[in-house]
Amino acid sequence: MKALDRGWVVCPKPRPSAAVQLFCFPNAGAGGSAYRGWADRCHPELEITWVLIPGRDGRMGKNPYTNIHELVPGLLDALQVSVDRNFVFYGHSLGAKIAFEAARELRRRGHAGPSHLFVGACHAPQLPWPYPAVHLLEDGQFIHEMQTRYGGIPIQVIKDAELRALLIPLLKEDVRLVETYHYRPEPPLDCAITAFGGSADNTVDRSAIEAWQHQTRNNFRFHIVPGDHFFVQSARDRLLATIAAELLLPSPGLAVHQ
């Protein structure tokens, strides 16, 4: 495992000869390890790199950011020195908005952005957030609302007071990033965008994901994959195969590693 600049990014399985770096941005409540196993299953011309948000994985104890626009500059300082070839982004749910704003921040700085932006389980950024805010609720109400809306909080976290005390505040900080996000109009990106939706995801409807097409002046594609809001793991192989196909990587490598 290779730790890259400033603790923001980790490469679990370095592939210095791979053609493309794939930076993976996690959903709320997850660390970069949400993508555990991707490096073992992806196309050999992809190098997987996890983006680590403060408070996750090896960054426990770091002060969390209060909004996405505050977070992105520090992230970009690390990304700019970690990129050494063609690169692309995949962001899931909250991670999709962070990846999108990271791409726009690169453009503002006059740097080359990702050649492709992949997003999953996320409303297009220009759309208003459709749900009541919950990050300020007391823990019991917060857990109830999150389980009703998304599910996904492990039962052991709900039942174990110590785990709740450790993890629920971190999840609330991530949810605050979602709920306080303010879209700032800018021209569409030059890179292509591919968006994914879960076939059983009841929290993000198809039209909200298809609206990502307005954020690119390049090609846009939309794919439905099996799974609920957290298909990032359950549909991992489908996602990786589609990413490889969209990037036109050599066909012999489209089969995932065994």
Could you give the strand order of the β-sheet that contains 2-3, starting from the edge strand earlier in sequence? 2-3, 9-11, 46-51, 20-25, 87-92, 116-120, 192-198, 220-225
The residues with which 91 forms a beta bridge, in sequence order, are 25, 119
Give the burial class of 155: count Cβ atoms within 10 A of its Cβ; 0-12 exposed, 13-18 middle, 19 or more buried: exposed
| Phi, psi (deg, nearest 5) at residue 89 | -115, 140
93 counts as catalytic:
yes
CB atoms closer than 10 angstroms to residue 234: 15
Spatial CA neighbour of 116 closest among 90, 93, 85, 96: 90
Catalytic-labelled residue, pool 82, 93, 199, 234 = 93
Q: Which residues are catalytic?
A: 93
